[in-house]
Amino acid sequence: MTTRIASAGLMVLAVTARAVTADDARTLKQAFANRFLVGAAIGTHHVIGEESAAIELVGRQFDSITSENLLKWAEVHPEREQYNFAPADKYVAFGEKHGMFIVGHTLVWHNQTPSWVFEGDDRKPLTREQLLRRMREHIHTVVGRYKGRIHAWDVVNEAFEDDGRLRETPWKRIIGDDYLEHAFRFAHEADSDAELYYNDYNEWHPGKRRAISQLVKSLQAKDVRIDGVGMQGHWGMDYPSLEELDATIRQYRDLGVKVMVTELDINFLPRPDQEQDADVARNYAASEKLNPYAEGLPEEVNAFLACRYGDLFELLVKHADKIDRVTFWGVHDGHSWLNNWPIRGRTAHPLLFDRNLQPKPAFNAVLEAAHPSADQ
Ligand code: GLA
């Protein structure tokens, strides 16, 4: 496939020549209205009003929201007898006010899940039956509270390794390989109208997407509801290739489920290598090598990012009949998780809006992909 990145020299000129302003009348949700939903992940700081300009931007630009952390187990159910629904209530109210498609993320995951979940009062591991009961209680309580209001759930997140093996997690160890099936069954019991998704990263690895396809087929064969598969979309400038993405989208769509990009951002900060790893935490601040855009993004890098986003959205538009939603992981660069991963305290630029909430050239490239001009 020909990419803009490949002919980046020309594109740099083309992309930077077009001025984009914050008042640009065109919005993402309008641009893709006949194609797919465009979403953003939002967090507690947004819904409690700490970032009023950012949340206004979300209302203007996006027609779907995903909860960044506030519905993860550790946040919504930090102690055995304690649920913390205040941020989630505000999150849902915000989405309803703006008529958005509201996604709950996530019910069963191995990260951001407190260790008490897997232990009894005696700190000993629960039995399979006990953990199933606990999983069911959590899912019924959380999904049930927002029944008919949260439209879709990422039921299980990241259950597979890149080679397709089922990841060794406490869920698998204690319950067994069928823990995913139970999670989907419990979610459907709690809200029979909610759409239910499986969500993961690196799905361009053939082994991983084969395993996910098997999961979908086995749930379908057992009549367990599954509506879609989410591709997280934590991508880079040169991975995955458009061919890999194309193959992944086709394979999932052949399963007859919705396909979504659920956590899109493009990371192009250098990855620390193993040797540096030990020193990274100490040295990152001084290391221009690891934090090269602390002072801002040079025009040509901004233009490269625009090319990459343009290429990706051109492919997504080509597959618009298969893609249901594209959600960005965050609203603007200043609050992206990539400022703190895999190294804390760097300056990342992975999204369409910069730290001042201004649209970057990438924003324009994405809009262009929605309405390709005749000469492209
Ligand atoms: C994964 C999870 C998200 C989030 C991102 C990084 O992709 O699904 O909830 O934690 O990692 O922020």
First to last CA, the chain: 14
Q: Is 263 a residue of the active site?
A: yes
Q: Please, are residues 226 and 256 in contact by the beta-carbon 8 Å criterion?
A: no
Residue 107 DSSP one-character state: E
pLDDT (0 to 100) of residue 375: 45
The helix/strand/coil state of 281 is helix
- Sequential pLDDT tens for the chain (376 residues): 667 766 654 444 444 444 444 444 589 999 999 999 999 999 999 999 999 999 999 999 999 999 999 999 999 999 999 999 999 999 999 999 999 999 999 999 999 999 999 999 999 999 999 999 999 999 999 999 999 999 999 999 999 999 999 999 999 999 999 999 999 999 999 999 999 999 999 999 999 999 999 999 999 999 999 999 999 999 999 999 999 999 999 999 999 999 999 999 999 999 877 555 555 555 555 578 889 999 999 999 999 999 999 999 999 999 999 999 999 999 999 999 999 999 899 999 999 999 999 999 999 999 999 986 544 4
pLDDT tens per residue, range 36-88: 999 999 999 999 999 999 999 999 999 999 999 999 999 999 999 999 999 99
- Torsion of the alpha carbons at 15, 341, 171 and 229, rounded to the nearest 10: 0
- Torsion of the alpha carbons at 206, 211, 215 and 216, rounded to the nearest 10: 10
Residue 27 DSSP one-character state: -
CA distance 70 to 232: 18
Give the residue from 282, 296, 279, 277 showing the smallest Cα distance to 345: 282
Atom of ligand 1 nearest to the CA of 157: 8
Q: Please, are residues 289 and 296 in contact by the beta-carbon 8 Å criterion?
A: no
CA distance 375 to 267: 30
Q: Which two tokens stand for residue 180?
A: 């995913």
Q: Is 195 a residue of the active site?
A: no
Find the catalytic residue in 51, 158, 195, 368.
Answer: 158
Atom of ligand 1 nearest to the CA of 112: 10
For CA atoms 14, 15, 21, 24, the dihedral sign is positive
Go through the chain and tell me how many residues it has: 376
Q: Which two tokens stand for residue 296?
A: 């801002």
pLDDT (0 to 100) of residue 18: 47
Choose the residue to mutate in 167, 234, 263 for probing ligand 1, maximizing ligand atoms within 8 Å of C-beta.
263
Q: Which two tokens stand for residue 371?
A: 């309405």
pLDDT (0 to 100) of residue 63: 98
Angle between helices 8-17 and 361-370 (to 10 degrees): 100
Q: Whose CA is nearest to atom 12 of ligand 1?
A: 337
Find the catalytic residue in 68, 263, 314, 368.
Answer: 263
pLDDT (0 to 100) of residue 25: 56
**How many CA atoms within 13 Å lie on the side-chain side of 60?**
15
Q: Give how far the C-alpha of residue 251 lies from the chain's centroid of Cα atoms, to the nearest Å.
A: 20
pLDDT tens per residue, range 268-314: 999 877 555 555 555 555 578 889 999 999 999 999 999 999 999 99
Q: How far is CA 351 from CA 85, 132, 284, 322, 362, in A?
A: 29, 38, 22, 23, 8
Residue 335 DSSP one-character state: G
Q: Please, are residues 235 and 253 in contact by the beta-carbon 8 Å criterion?
A: no
Phi then psi for 349, rounded to 5 degrees? -140, 50
